[in-house]
Structure 1
Amino acid sequence: MRLGVFGGTFDPPHIGHLILAAESAEQLGLDRVLWVITPDPPHKTGVPISPLDVRLRLLTAALDADPRFEISRVDIDRPGPQYAVDTIQILRKEYPGSELFYLLGGDSLHDLPKWHAPQRFIASLDGIGVMHRPGDRVDLGGVERFLPGLAVKIHFVEAPLLEIASRDIRERVRQGRHFRYFVPDAVYALIQDLGLYQA
């Protein structure tokens, strides 16, 4: 089996997340995409994050319509900090013999050298799917100098240019601005019903 691993805070999950996952599944030939929600992201210390149970409800609502998408509890059921390198080691044991492809946005690729144990993380994967937005320039040679062995693992995923970020959606809600079409219908309804991200 070929599995995609898509990690994030998903606060809230939005259309850009779904497009990246769907395009990755199609272009990389993934049988399933495991959505790994991070309870307590190490890189977001001091940033207000919605409670895990709320984010799980939002993500469940967002993924309900696609049978290829599945929420993994790999990071939920273990104490933090939850580093991606450890997540992949656990998934290797859960899915023996499977190929694991980690899915990233192009911006995250630039930050990879700052991740926890990045060299070990890269070595543990069969591939890394990187969302390649039109006009993006990725200096693979530069990244390869910091992380030898990375370039051969990268598979670019072509996807439409969508400048959508969860933090922008939260800000729009706080300001009372329109955000209706940035998120799936069910996520929009939950944000409204639960009064999330209000000032």
Structure 2
Amino acid sequence: MAQVGWFGGSFDPVHRAHVALACAALDQLALDEVRWVVAGQPWQKSGRRMASAEDRVAMVRLAIEDEGGRAPGSARFVLDDREIRRAGPSFTLDSVREYQQERPGDTLWLILGQDQLAGFTSWHGWEELVERVGLAVAARARDEVRAPAALLERPHRLIRLAMPALTWSSTEARQRAAEGADVGPVVGDKVAGYIARHRLYSES
């Protein structure tokens, strides 16, 4: 039986704020591991061209390795590619069901940002999902966690993760890469090197 953080996303690309959030969840919830679950076909981002699933997985692997030499808890970061291997849209509920069949004794905490929590009730099967997982929500500085009314009307477990005010984003990383600017400050040197070698997000 383990306490497990479930950190899903498109990670297009993964950046320093993602790593900071995973570390915060690991430390503040005393988790045994954080599973980085890379979405194969993110249903909420179907209108935008993305880096391939293989590239996004490779970048997450590098981000985890980069952190591994510096933070004692980061050895408990695990890359989970189940959504890449599964055909069709990537729904968190499907992945959580599958995982809980494999490891039924584990307690899962879904790691979210405030923006994701705001749209949580639009997720596929969110009513069942909230019965299966706790919600660990990042709130910056002194901000309060603001949950949707429909979620508050149902039994749920919600914990606030204290986070500094970080401005890094995948959008900024893609814009920098498209302009030929240095993406290292946003994504870290290893991921920046991968983006450069594979000419990801380049307009040319």
TM-score with structure 2 setting the length: 0.90
Q: Offset of 1:77 from its aligned partner?
A: 2.1
What does residue 52 of structure 1 align with?
Answer: 53
Return the alpha-carbon distance in structure 2 between the equivalents of residues 178 and 131 of structure 1: 27
Q: Aligned to 2:181, which of 163, 169, 177?
A: 177
Return the alpha-carbon distance in structure 2 between the equivalents of residues 137 and 28 of structure 1: 18
Gaps of 5+ in 2: 69-73
Q: Offset of 1:129 from its aligned partner?
A: 0.7
Q: Aligned to 1:194, which of 193, 198, 203?
A: 198
Return the alpha-carbon distance in structure 2 between the equivalents of residues 59 and 139 of structure 1: 29
What does residue 81 of structure 1 align with?
Answer: 89
Q: Deviations over 1:53-92 (max 9, x none)?
A: 1111111111112311111122122112121111111110
Q: Aligned to 1:131, which of 131, 135, 138?
A: 138
CA contact (8 A) 2:145 2:160 kept: no
CA contact (8 A) 2:169 2:186 kept: no
3-state SS of paired residue (2:40) = coil
Q: CA RMSD in A?
A: 1.4
Distance 1:59 1:69, change over 3 A: same
CA contact (8 A) 1:74 1:90 kept: no
Q: How does 1:146-185 map to 2 (within 5 A)?
A: 146-147=150-151, 148-149=153-154, 152-185=156-189
Q: Offset of 1:171 from its aligned partner?
A: 0.9
Q: Deviations over 1:93-130 (max 9, x none)?
A: 122201111100111000001111211110111x1110
Q: Offset of 1:17 from its aligned partner?
A: 0.3
What does residue 71 of structure 2 align with?
Answer: none
Return the alpha-carbon distance in structure 1 between the equivalents of residues 175 and 100 of structure 2: 37
Corresponding letter in the other structure for 2:105: G
Q: Offset of 1:135 from its aligned partner?
A: 4.5
What does residue 40 of structure 2 align with?
Answer: 39
3-state SS of paired residue (2:4) = strand
1:14 aligns with 2:15: yes
Gaps of 5+ in 1: none
3-state SS of paired residue (1:55) = helix
3-state SS of paired residue (1:53) = helix
Q: Offset of 1:178 from its aligned partner?
A: 3.6
Return the alpha-carbon distance in structure 2 between the equivalents of residues 74 and 124 of structure 1: 18
- Percent of aligned positions that are identical: 30
3-state SS of paired residue (1:67) = helix
Segments ≥4 residues shifted beyond 4 Å:
none
Aligned residues: 194
Return the alpha-carbon distance in structure 2 between the equivalents of residues 45 and 56 of structure 1: 18
3-state SS of paired residue (1:13) = coil
